[in-house]
């Protein structure tokens, strides 16, 4: 009997445990459910929508060349899946459905409802562990979740070593010819010069990064003008590349260079992805717009729409913040150091609710991923688990001098500052600002910092 594999944020054929396991049992077919209404409620960006559609188009052709059907169901919300998937199974006589679980609350509820509907329809279902490097829960000695990253990471690495496995191979070509029913999307391209939906190119990006940059990652990763990070996040968010693929590349280049793969700083960064995703499973409140630290619910946020808009548009008068926000708006991506600077600026210096920043990022990011985004925002706002202490307020000018010393990155996105020297670009003098037509700072750093710290101190 043909097995049905439901693809969600794991849009790939290779290194896919459910596809691999299902094909051990017989022929397979694939399904994706489009739920744009739900994704809009989750503030997902048009950029991510477009990339998803383009990946599905590519996958459809790849699957077709292997005689594997890919059904694309056009639904609205997650709740529609509980009807649509059993109906598809009945229509095509699929007897078993496979997927990899997802951990945020809405996704988990959706999966439970689909599983229940399948059971009622006497269709079997195989729910595999989430799409992580270490898919099993990483627990402490009391069998509880870790709330701090470093001990999580130590345990994570131990489990990883015990469970090491190579990437799952691509599915084999099937003999039956199939009926294919997908009209390719006419999505608005979003900077596909930067983010092609080409699986071969994605793999090459991974391997090129590992060969050329992974060893220097620790030194380069904080400098936004240097292409020192992998730029794989849009593909990891939609699952266009598998976690074991990343691991294999790290292990291979480490061996080539006589380095210990377990010491890879890039691997440690990938562990953050697992950490935040696993937290979603342990703490359902995180999926409900609640802070990890309940006392921070009492922070009295500033609801100035004007300050918020200035931040969104990259018109704060702080060059590094403005360059970062314009990078986000123009490319759908922002460098990690800048995500930390801009999030600290919004939540501490403007004292604006982190949830507004979280939603704005999600609405623009091509790599918008709920767990990582929520984790990053709660870390920056000091409301999260293992977060920055509340008195840690980034000084945007010092950050800029340190991580973009020549102003090279700033000049790329704030062209009006191009004529300025490395010395003056981080905080131009008022006379220079008015001469070149650049915004005056919307806040006074020292006063704003003091206010932010006392807003958190009041909670004690």
Q: Which stretch binds ligand FAD (CB under 6 A): 40-48, 104-112, 164-172, 376-384?
A: 376-384
Which residue matches tokens 């691991």?
Answer: 247
Listed residue (18, 247, 19, 55) closest to 130, CA to CA: 18
Annotated catalytic residue 377: yes
Does residue 373 interact with ligand FAD by CB under 6 A?
yes
Does residue 375 interact with ligand FAD by CB under 6 A?
yes
Phi and psi, residue 225, nearest 5°: -80, -15
Pick out residues in 152-181 that bind ligand FAD (CB under 6 A): none
- In this structure, are residues 4 and 96 in contact, taking their beta carbons and an 8 Å threshold? yes
Listed residue (269, 257, 275, 264) closest to 231, CA to CA: 269
Phi and psi, residue 391, nearest 5°: -85, 0
- In this structure, are residues 21 and 178 in contact, taking their beta carbons and an 8 Å threshold? no
Annotated catalytic residue 156: no
Active-site residue, selected from the candidate residues 354, 369, 373, 379 = 354
Task: Figure out which of the listed residues 372, 442, 443, 448 binds ligand FAD, where binding follows CB under 6 A.
Answer: 372
**Residue whose CB is less far from ligand FAD, 229 or 264:** 229
Instruction: Find all residues with CB under 8 Å of 11, minimum gap 6, and list them.
Output: 32, 52, 55, 56, 59, 238, 239, 240
Does residue 377 interact with ligand FAD by CB under 6 A?
yes
Q: Per the structure block, which two tokens stand in for 168?
A: 């799952």
Pick out residues in 341-360 that bind ligand FAD (CB under 6 A): 343
Q: How many angstroms separate the Cα of 61 from the Cα of each of 53, 71, 171? A: 13, 12, 14
**Residue whose CB is less far from ligand FAD, 171 or 239:** 239
Pick out residues in 310-339 that bind ligand FAD (CB under 6 A): 336, 339
- In this structure, are residues 118 and 125 in contact, taking their beta carbons and an 8 Å threshold? yes
| Burial grade of 325 (CB within 10 A; 0-12, 13-18, 19 or more) | buried
In the complex, minimum distance from the CB of residue 367 to ligand FAD, in angstroms, rounded to a whole number:
4
The rounded distance, in Å, linking the Cα atoms of 141 and 21 is 32
Annotated catalytic residue 336: yes
In the complex, minimum distance from the CB of residue 248 to ligand FAD, in angstroms, rounded to a whole number:
15
Contacts with ligand FAD, 262-291, as mask; x by CB under 6 A: -------xx-xx--x---------------
Does residue 245 interact with ligand FAD by CB under 6 A?
no
In the complex, minimum distance from the CB of residue 41 to ligand FAD, in angstroms, rounded to a whole number:
16
In the complex, minimum distance from the CB of residue 46 to ligand FAD, in angstroms, rounded to a whole number:
15
The rounded distance, in Å, linking the Cα atoms of 112 and 92 is 22
- In this structure, are residues 13 and 52 in contact, taking their beta carbons and an 8 Å threshold? no
Residue whose CB is nearest to ligand FAD in the complex, by number? 376
In the complex, minimum distance from the CB of residue 192 to ligand FAD, in angstroms, rounded to a whole number:
17
Pick out residues in 397-436 that bind ligand FAD (CB under 6 A): none
Phi and psi, residue 4, nearest 5°: -110, 130
Pick out residues in 192-231 that bind ligand FAD (CB under 6 A): 221, 229-231
In the complex, minimum distance from the CB of residue 220 to ligand FAD, in angstroms, rounded to a whole number:
10
**Residue whose CB is less far from ligand FAD, 110 or 221:** 221
Per CB under 6 A, residues contacting ligand FAD are 221, 229-233, 236-237, 269-270, 272-273, 276, 336, 339-340, 343, 361, 365, 367-369, 372-373, 375-377, 380
Q: Tell me which residues are annotated as active site.
A: 269, 272, 301, 336, 354, 377
């Amino acid at each position: 009997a043909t097995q049905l594999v439901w693809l969600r944020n794991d849009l790939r054929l290779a290194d896919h445990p459910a596809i691999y396991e299902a094909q051990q049992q017989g022929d397979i077919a694939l399904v994706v459910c489009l739920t744009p209404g739900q994704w809009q409620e989750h503030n997902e960006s048009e950029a991510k929508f477009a990339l998803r559609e383009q990946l599905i188009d590519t996958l459809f052709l790849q699957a077709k060349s292997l005689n594997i059907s890919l059904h694309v169901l056009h639904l609205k919300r997650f709740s529609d899946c509980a009807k649509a998937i059993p109906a598809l199974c009945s229509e095509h006589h699929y007897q078993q459905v496979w997927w990899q679980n997802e951990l945020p609350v809405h996704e988990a509820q959706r999966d439970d409802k689909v599983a229940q509907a399948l059971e009622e329809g006497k269709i079997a279902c195989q729910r595999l562990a989430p799409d992580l490097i270490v898919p099993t829960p990483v627990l402490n000695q009391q069998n509880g979740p870790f709330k701090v990253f470093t001990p999580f990471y130590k345990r994570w690495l131990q489990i990883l070593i015990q469970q090491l496995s190579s990437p799952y191979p691509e599915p084999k070509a099937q003999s039956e010819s199939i009926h294919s029913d997908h009209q390719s999307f006419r999505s608005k391209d979003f900077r596909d010069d930067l983010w092609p939906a080409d699986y071969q190119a994605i793999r090459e990006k991974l391997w090129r990064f590992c060969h050329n940059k992974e060893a220097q990652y620790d030194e380069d990763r904080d400098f936004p003008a240097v292409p020192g990070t992998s730029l794989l996040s849009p593909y990891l968010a939609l699952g266009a590349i598998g976690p074991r693929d990343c691991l294999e590349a790290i292990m291979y280049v480490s061996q080539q260079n006589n380095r210990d793969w377990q010491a890879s700083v890039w691997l440690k960064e990938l562990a953050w992805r697992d950490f935040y995703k696993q937290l979603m499973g342990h703490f359902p409140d995180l999926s409900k717009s609640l802070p990890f630290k309940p006392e921070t619910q009492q922070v009295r946020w500033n609801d100035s729409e004007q300050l918020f808009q200035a931040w969104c548009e990259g018109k704060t008068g702080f060059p590094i913040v403005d360059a970062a926000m314009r990078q986000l708006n123009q490319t759908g991506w922002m460098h990690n150091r800048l995500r930390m600077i801009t999030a600290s600026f919004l939540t501490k210096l403007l004292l604006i609710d982190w949830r507004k920043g979280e939603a704005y990022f999600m609405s623009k990011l091509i790599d918008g991923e709920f767990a990582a985004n929520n984790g990053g925002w709660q870390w920056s706002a000091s409301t999260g688990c293992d977060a920055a202490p509340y008195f840690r307020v980034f000084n945007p000018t010092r950050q800029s001098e340190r991580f973009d010393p020549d102003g090279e990155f700033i000049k790329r996105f704030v062209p009006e500052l191009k004529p300025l020297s490395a010395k003056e670009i981080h905080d131009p003098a008022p006379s220079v600002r008015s001469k070149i037509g650049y915004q005056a700072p919307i806040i006074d750093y020292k006063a704003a910092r003091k206010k932010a710290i006392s807003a958190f101190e009041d909670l004690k």
